[in-house]
Amino acid sequence: MLELSPAEWTAVLLSLRIALVATTCALPFGVAIGWLLARKEFWGKILVDGIVHLPLVLPPVVTGYLLLISFGRKGPIGAFLADYFDIVFSFRWTGAALSCGIMGFPLLVRPVRLALEAIDRRLEDAAGTLGANPLLVFLTVTLPLALPGIVAGAVLCFARALGEFGATITFVSNIPGETQTISAAIYSLLQVPGGEAPAARLVLIAIVIALAALIASEWFARRAGLRFHGE
Amino acid sequence: MLAVDVVKRLGNFALTARFQAARGVTALFGPSGAGKTTVVNMIAGLLVPDRGSIALDDTVLFEDAGRINVPPYRRRIGYVFQEGRLFPHLSVRQNLDYGRRMSGQPRDLKEIARIVDLLDIGPLLDRRPRMLSGGERQRIAIGRALMMRPRLLLLDEPLASLDATRKHEIIPYLVRLRDEAEVPMVYVSHAAAELRQIATNVVRLEAGRVTAIGGIGLLD
């Protein structure tokens, strides 16, 4: 029962790869935007905040469609990236990573922002008087203190990316071995007779991966908490 | 020699301060709300004066006319805060070493040993700030500021958050610091009894103005 077929293995590994790449690529942007929203006042901040959270409230199909018309082969951004940098998103696993990253982005930004807002700014002042320039203050004080929030955000983003379905299937379709993630594979299996058993295996694996991610983040948050607050 | 001549307005509060501080411990003395912390923050560079100038020895740190404003991280002024402000994610040893690392100075083992000895903090080095008592935390904060080899040491009510017993525990270290280290200090406090034991000169600050400058006789 628990023996996975090569096709199912492909879907599992592809899902992990897409979610991992999506989270890793989203992380620096998420920290930057979280920092901007937490620390800076600027014109249009509400708009930026809104756009970041848009994937959370839009129907995923809409996000997928918007990605298709902008990042598709004929879309303005997609054509530009393909012509000048040879980066192609449409119907590739990279496109799946892009849509997963965008869908997970709001879940990444929020904990990062909250963590940055919770930091005692006076510690940063203290670091400044000790000779640390603003970049060093960020790297040696701000970032380590925000780490639990950053990890929490990354885990949420990873989980969201792993489960992403609507935007991805709209943008890059459901191609086995290229863009067929666990969710898309389950969906396909349920469309054909006799697909229930393999679908159930994939469902089980999805649950195991999600649980493992949650436990890992909990463990990390606790460890970080211990480090900061002693025991 | 520190020369301060600043004007600063914060909401309804207006501060005008002009004084000089030479060797030894200059007390900034006055009731709370007099503007003592504001002055010290401007010396450290954490707050920008509206007008005036601040100079330390032959370095101009701030001058509105010449548009000079040296950022805090280039001032090399040690600052001991009321609440210590130790970095919670670093060990005591890493806290002490922070200033040296950030300013890229070489590790001077003799100097480290001297400061660790002066403040009696050897047994605390491997602990986390959370595991320290209030008095220990302030000693580490003083050590951390000294380790960066400051040209001036600012202490803002370093004993205010401690109970009487802990205060008496720290004062001898401050006296030792005054007598042994060559670094001049500006010591903010509203407690005359505390200052009498530590200060060598007194600048009295009341409601945003310097009302007297002199010896420790001003504390009576």
For chain A, domains (ranges, CATH) are: 6-229 (1.10.3720.10)
B87/A130 Cβ within 8 A: no
B8 touches chain A (CB under 8 A): no
Closest CA relative to residue A226, chosen from B185, B128, B150, B98: B128
- Dist. CA B76–CA B74, nearest whole Å: 6
Quick: pLDDT tens for A47-103.
Answer: 999 999 999 899 999 999 999 998 888 888 888 888 888 788 888 888 899 999 999
Q: How big is the CA angle at A108 (ends A103 and A109), to the nearest 5 degrees?
A: 105
CB contacts of A133 in chain B (<8 Å) are: 71, 73, 102
Q: Which pLDDT score, from 0 to 100, does residue A2 have?
A: 64
- Mention every residue, 6+ apart, whose C-beta is less than 8 A from residue A19: A100, A158, A161, A162
pLDDT band at A225 (very low <50, low <70, confident <90, very high): low
CB contacts of B144 in chain A (<8 Å) are: 130
Quick: pLDDT tens for B68-93.
Answer: 999 999 999 999 999 889 999 999 99
pLDDT band at A231 (very low <50, low <70, confident <90, very high): very low
CB contacts of B44 in chain A (<8 Å) are: 129
ipTM of the predicted structure?
0.91
B128/A129 Cβ within 8 A: no
Q: Which CATH class is domain B2-219?
A: alpha beta
pLDDT band at A162 (very low <50, low <70, confident <90, very high): confident
**Helix A45-57 × helix A6-39 angle, to 10°:** 160
B24 touches chain A (CB under 8 A): no
List, for chain B, all residue ranges whose pLDDT scores fall below the cut of 50.
Answer: none
pTM equals 0.86
- Dist. CA B127–CA B125, nearest whole Å: 6
